[in-house]
Structure 1
Amino acid sequence: MVSAHSTGIVQFFSVLYRKMCSSASVLLPPVGVRGMKVLDREKFSRNIQVPILKVTEKNLSKVITLCKTYFLKVENFKPVQSCQDASFKKCIFFNPEKINDWTDISEDDRTALSNLGIDKSNFDIQEVQLLYENFKYDTIFKAVLPEQEEIVSGFSQIGHIIHLNLKEHLLDYRQFIGQVLLDKVKTCHTVVNKSNTIDNTYRNFSMEVIAGAENFLVTVKENGCKFKFDFSKVYWNPRLSKEHERILSFLKPGDVLFDAFCGVGPFSLPAVKCKCKVYANDLNPDSVLWLNHNAKFNCVDPNLFKSYNLDGNDFINKIFKEYLIEYCKGNETLRESAKIHITMNLPAMAVEFLSNFNGLIKDKELLDKLDKEILIYVYCFVVGDDPVTISKEMVNKNIGCEVTTNIVDVFDVRNVSPKKEMMRVTLKLTADILFGVNSDNDEPPIKKKCTDKDN
């Protein structure tokens, strides 16, 4: 099992939107590797002249502390090593981009070193061979990939899989990029590039394995639960880990959660562990298969968890509706302060499902029986300069009545691309909306919508 935090699942959390730098750095690999499409590790070997400070064992720890800011810091290289000169104990290797001469050391540090018996006579130059193993992947990409272009648009790590979405100008380099990442990210065993946008029914996408083993079965840990799934068949976005955590912080023991587009359960299963009653639904049968597997894997209370493989409209019009009716009739009980929560994490089109809630219940005699606060967390993609206002307009338009005063919060979850944001609107679902008090509609909407288009 690989932890989301320990593996840097959110490596994307290391997005590399960097421009190539045309000026050569002394520590970069040779210019001769530019344009390499098949990895040749031998070509990254180069010799550089490195300033060193030769020191005895006396006051060694103090000397090292004074010199830390000048260390030569590259992968798999120790800046403090045994000295070849038998008269000294250690050699301290300086970064040649910072230090070329004794006087490049700050005056204060030179004075402090002098007080420890270290002076210009201890300073020397030594040739060091740097190899492929000494360079980080971003340094390698900067030296090899096209100049004045974005290096890598970003990547995520899901268990042992690194997931890329390469720009067109990098596609010819994909095998090279994949192999470098496989070499440099120790917890990575498979590198994939997304082949198309998420535009099918089940929110998964075609992937090309560009390095490593064709193994899509992963295990990740998030919010106290372990999730196992086939990444090629279900949707998982590690960039949403913090958002999952935020929603879970709103839930209290005894609350009820309806997770309309649950995937493999990042909202649902931690909620059950928090003693909430959960109704989890997804249209993708593979998602539901892994959802149920993970429910058992995490030993969730079966009395607090039910799963469904339904269209989102059917889930609202049947499962959610029946629950509310049974509650109003006294057949479902909740503690006095309990709330009902609905998560709708399908940002490309979740707002379109809001119309189901307007006039969902026809029996007006039950109106006064609905005494619980109901909160919807609906996600949407917004393009424009005012995402908060646009999000509110989308909610009002799709639910079919004016609900601006019912909007509790509009939160910017993450930036998807320039001027495209993923937003979360928190909406208080009142009895007036559910019973269609302010609506002219006699029937709740039942038209099915094509589901699961996410990016």
Structure 2
Amino acid sequence: MVKCFDDINEGDRSALQNFNINKDSLRFGKLNLTYDNWRADEVLKAILPEDKDSLTSYSVIGHIVHVNLRDHLLEYRKVIGQVFLDKIKGARTVVNKTDIIDNMYRNFNMEILCGEDCMLAQVRENHCTFEFDFSSVYWNPRLCTEHERIAKKIKQGDVLYDVFAGVGPFAIPAAKKKCIVLANDLNPESHKWLEHNAKLNKVNALIHTFNKDGEVFIKEDVRSDMLQRWQNVDFRNNTMHITMNLPAMAVTFLKVFNGLFTPEELESLEIKIFPVVYVYCFAKGDNPVTVAKKMVEENLCVELREDMIDVFHVRNVSVKKEMMRVAFQLSKSILTGECSRHCKISRKCVQNFPGDTQVKRLCVEDSGEDYEKHIHVIELSTP
């Protein structure tokens, strides 16, 4: 604590004296600090229980602040909402996620803690504008850098097949680079906003949108478009990119690529560059790279060697749970099913969700190994 000029260390005093600041310049007074002088994290640290984990992170989506409160913080949720509304610039709405992402559309129930009841958001990302209803689609601002990484891998004239496109964070930037994009999402709301964002960013002429199950999209639209482009000699020096950003279950769709074509269909084609897949997954354990690679191989039913490009760490999700991106090439032997090996994956339905108009069952992809099982929801037709 500095009570007089001599309490300042000698080196700092000399530096101050170079600016004609000496002991006669030192003055003492009172400074009144108010609520406005403290950051949100400082206020929350002061008012929340010290003996339990505090709120450590939040996301900002346009004017919406999104928090994920643990149970012991729920009784403080209103004051937490008010603090964020006061402290985050541009915030008009604060929401808390009230359950896990447990449905096929990747959205979740939320409670408005404070502010306006307005879920229509506008965000800027990678030189594009996106608009959507945050309550009915999936959007994660923590993936902005990853979206940019993929956009940099795609060049003009390439083709992007976006299997789980959402509202377009991969598709729109790719189209801005003059790429042809086939973008699909099963969620009707995501598909609606995907089309809206294509028009908003003036790239709707380059984006063909689909509202289908991912497997159907690959088997029908991706397959047909690939064959057509391989038959076009002008396309031979361009690359096909396939993004699969549904980390809880995207790997389970990889089996569709194994044997997607017959050997006879590809035999007469001169394919210079085979498609590149970027598939995302959650990996738990001490070695997420090994886990992610193994998950891909088990579901693709192929041991990836020369076709493997890389396994990339995208972000930390929770303790020993990482979001990973596995990139590999769909070689001719994979596409024709010539290098398949026996795949031991089975599906076990373990829980029902009551109250839905259609039967939804929580299923587990179980390869019989020790690594993390992947839980997702499949929709079954009712009798």
What TM bracket, shorter-length normalisation?
Answer: 0.7 to 0.9
Structure 1 residues 216-244: Cα deviation after superposition (integer angstroms, max 9, x where no partner): 11111111110000000000000000000
TM-score when scaled to structure 1? 0.73
Mapped to 1, the partners of 2:59 and 2:376 lie a distance apart of 20
Aligned residues: 347
Q: Return the offset for 1:112.
A: 4.2
Cα distance change on mapping 1:333 and 1:265 into 2, 3 Å: farther
Give the Cα–Cα distance (whole angstroms) in 2 for the partners of residues 226 and 117 of structure 1: 52
Match of 2:212 in 1: 310
The within-5 A match list for 1:216-365 is 216-302=119-205, 304-328=206-230, 330=231, 332=232, 334-362=234-262, 364-365=264-265
Code of the aligned partner of 2:54:
I
1:115, CA displacement in angstroms?
Answer: 5.6
Greater Cα shift, 292-301 or 338-347: 292-301
- % identical aligned pairs: 49
Q: RMSD between aligned alpha carbons?
A: 2.1
Q: Could you tell me which of 92, 108, 117 is aligned with 1:189?
A: 92
Is residue 301–residue 341 contact of structure 2 (8 Å, CA) maintained in 1? no
Amino acid at match of 2:218: I
Inter-CA distance 301–309: structure 2 relative to 1 (3 Å threshold): closer
Decide which structure has the larger Cα Rg and report it.
1
Higher relative contact order (CA 8 A, sep 6+): 1
| Whole-angstrom distance in 2 between the partners of 1:375 and 1:115 | 62
Whole-Å Cα distance in 2 between the matches of residues 116 and 268 of structure 1? 56
Relative to structure 1, is the Cα distance of residues 306 and 365 closer, same or farther in structure 2, using a 3 angstrom cutoff? closer
Question: Following the alignment from structure 1 to structure 2, what is the Cα–Cα distance between the partners of residues 157 and 437?
Answer: 47
Letter of the 2:224 counterpart:
E
List alignment gaps of at least 5 residues for structure 2: 343-360, 364-374, 378-383
Question: Any gaps of 5 or more consecutive residues in structure 1?
Answer: 1-97, 442-448
Q: Is residue 2:105 matched to residue 1:202?
A: yes
Q: What's the CA shift for 1:110?
A: 2.1
Deviation at 1:386, TM superposition (A): 0.8
- Alpha-carbon spacing, 1:170–1:247, altered in 2? closer, same or farther (3 Å): same
By how many angstroms is 1:208 displaced? 0.5
Partner residue, 1:22: none
1: distance between equivalents of 2:179 and 2:315?
27
Is 1:378 paired with 2:266? no
Q: Which amino acid aligns with 1:297?
A: L
Seen in structure 2, the aligned counterparts of structure 1 residues 141 and 450 have a Cα distance that, compared at 3 Å, is closer
1:76-96 Cα distance to aligned partner (Å, 9 max, x none) = xxxxxxxxxxxxxxxxxxxxx
Q: Does 1:423 align with 2:324?
A: yes
Whole-Å separation in 2 of the counterparts to 1:195 and 1:361: 44
Partner of 1:133: 36
How many Å separate the matches in 2 of 1:361 and 1:112? 75
Aligned partner (choices 72, 82, 107) of residue 179 of structure 1: 82
Equivalent residue in structure 2 for 1:152, among 41, 52, 55: 55
Query: In structure 2, do the counterparts of structure 1 residues 427 and 116 end up closer, same or farther at CA, with 3 Å as the change threshold?
Result: closer
1:59 equivalent in structure 2: none
> Taking structure 2 as the reference length, what is the TM-score of the superposition?
0.86
